[in-house]
């Protein structure tokens, strides 16, 4: 017996489905299984097998997708002392962080499948799973583990106990390896249409990954932004209807009588001089210039006595009642403000 072998071997964990998950050589040693015995059990034709370096599957035969997924995480995870926190986890997500998966997060197509994307391939059809690790980790892609390095790990979402990258980040990592414009468009559209995230978050991650220079990605992003705006407009109509706000005039342009164009608006209440504008910027490289245009238009309208309510698609999705209250307050306090300048309202 060596100094690494516990005096009383601990029993190996057996899940409810009767099949043991993969374990690392270090975990097996902690259960009283020395390295020599691991080698013996993993011999050709033996009862165990090595799925990845230092990762052992405790049964013969083909591994399941779940076993391959956990093997990839075990391979990529950093061994850490007890008490050291694992991958940061977004609050309110499902599952419990596995203490053995420090500094390892599933991303790419496998992550989208775990998030429930119908356009992502099923796990058994994937030859390898992308896993995010810190940039300085000394790991290489091998077998079913494809290493993706990052300067900073995202806060993981727990899906059935597996740390998974947020949708926008998983999309960017998936798109980086895709050349089919139809598949890219399908996945980006599903992200928005399925309510997984807003277009701005997706474009921000694509921009960070320097993918917006690829023509098939640019085309897909244009479709994504159009899809996101259409959904945001539908939510805006629903907010006005369901929260009893007075009907505005929709999608109009404002002009000074005989003067210049003041800008387009998504909704306008002429009697109260209240304007509403949806911020559907996609956070591309020209974002600063576009925001400056938003700000100039808002300042000009407010100098004319028009109150501008600025709403984002995310706020409409997450807190429509609060956004309706903001609009209602602007409408009910109109009498307390100075009368607005006379403007011409034209259909856009």
143 burial via Cβ count (<10 Å: 0-12, 13-18, 19+): middle
56: in domain: yes
- CATH number of 301's domain: 3.40.960
98: in domain: no
Q: Are residues 13 and 48 in the same domain?
A: yes
23: in domain: yes
69: in domain: no
Q: Are residues 165 and 109 in the same domain?
A: yes
CA separation for the pair 193, 21 (Å, rounded): 35
Tokens of 150: 């990052």
pTM reported for the whole predicted model? 0.76
pLDDT at 97: 41
Number of domains, the chain: 3
CA separation for the pair 260, 274 (Å, rounded): 19
Residues in the chain where the model's pLDDT stays below 70: 1-20, 80-100, 282-291
pLDDT at 124: 96
Q: Are residues 191 and 259 in the same domain?
A: no
Average pLDDT over all residues of the chain = 85
pLDDT over 70 percentage in the chain? 85
Spell 233-246 as b/e; 16+ CB within 10 A means b.
Answer: bebbeebbeeeebe
Q: Are residues 118 and 204 in the same domain?
A: yes
Q: Are residues 184 and 262 in the same domain?
A: no
204: in domain: yes
Q: Are residues 225 and 308 in the same domain?
A: no
Q: Are residues 269 and 188 in the same domain?
A: no
Give the domain range for residue 33: 1-63
CA separation for the pair 147, 137 (Å, rounded): 10
How many residues in total does the chain contain? Answer: 348
pLDDT at 217: 92
Q: Are residues 125 and 226 in the same domain?
A: yes
CA separation for the pair 274, 236 (Å, rounded): 15
Q: Are residues 214 and 259 in the same domain?
A: no
237: in domain: no
Q: Are residues 248 and 209 in the same domain?
A: no
In this structure, what is the dihedral angle of CA atoms 202, 206, 208, 209, given to the nearest 10 degrees?
A: 140
Q: In the listed set 180, 205, 230, which residue is the last one of a domain according to the structure?
A: 230
CA separation for the pair 111, 130 (Å, rounded): 8
Contact 104, 87 (CB under 8 A): yes
90: in domain: no
pLDDT at 283: 54
């Amino acid at each position: 017996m060596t100094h690494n072998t516990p005096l009383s071997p601990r029993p190996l964990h057996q899940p409810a489905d009767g099949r043991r998950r993969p374990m690392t050589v270090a975990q097996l040693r902690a259960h009283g299984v020395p390295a020599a015995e691991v080698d013996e059990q993993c011999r050709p034709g033996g009862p165990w097998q090595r799925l990845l370096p230092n990762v052992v599957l405790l049964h013969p035969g083909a591994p399941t997708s779940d076993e391959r997924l956990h093997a990839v995480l075990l391979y990529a995870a950093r061994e850490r002392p007890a008490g050291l926190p694992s991958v940061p986890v977004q609050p309110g997500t499902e599952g419990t962080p596995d203490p053995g998966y420090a500094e390892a997060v599933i991303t790419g197509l496998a992550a989208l499948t775990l998030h429930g994307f119908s356009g992502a391939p099923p796990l058994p059809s994937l030859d390898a799973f992308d896993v995010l690790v810190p940039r300085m980790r000394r790991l290489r892609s091998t077998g079913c583990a494809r290493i993706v390095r990052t300067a900073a790990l995202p806060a993981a979402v727990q899906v059935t106990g597996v740390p998974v990258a947020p949708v926008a980040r998983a999309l960017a990592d998936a798109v980086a390896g895709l050349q089919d414009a139809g598949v890219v468009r399908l996945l980006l559209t599903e992200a928005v249409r399925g309510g997984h995230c807003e277009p701005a978050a997706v474009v921000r991650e694509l921009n960070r990954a320097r993918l917006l220079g690829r023509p098939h990605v640019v085309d897909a992003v244009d479709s994504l932004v159009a899809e996101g705006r259409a959904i945001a407009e539908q939510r805006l109509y629903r907010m006005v209807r369901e929260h009893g706000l007075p009907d505005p005039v929709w999608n109009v342009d404002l002009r000074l009588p005989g003067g210049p164009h003041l800008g387009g608006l998504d909704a306008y209440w002429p009697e109260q001089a209240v304007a509403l504008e949806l911020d559907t910027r996609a956070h591309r490289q020209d974002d600063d210039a576009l925001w400056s245009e938003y700000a100039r238009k808002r300042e000009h309208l407010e100098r004319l006595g028009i109150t501008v309510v600025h709403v984002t698609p995310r706020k409409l999705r997450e807190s429509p009642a609060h956004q309706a209250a903001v609009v209602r307050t602007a409408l009910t306090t109109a009498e307390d403000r100075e009368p607005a300048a006379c403007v011409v309202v034209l259909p856009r």
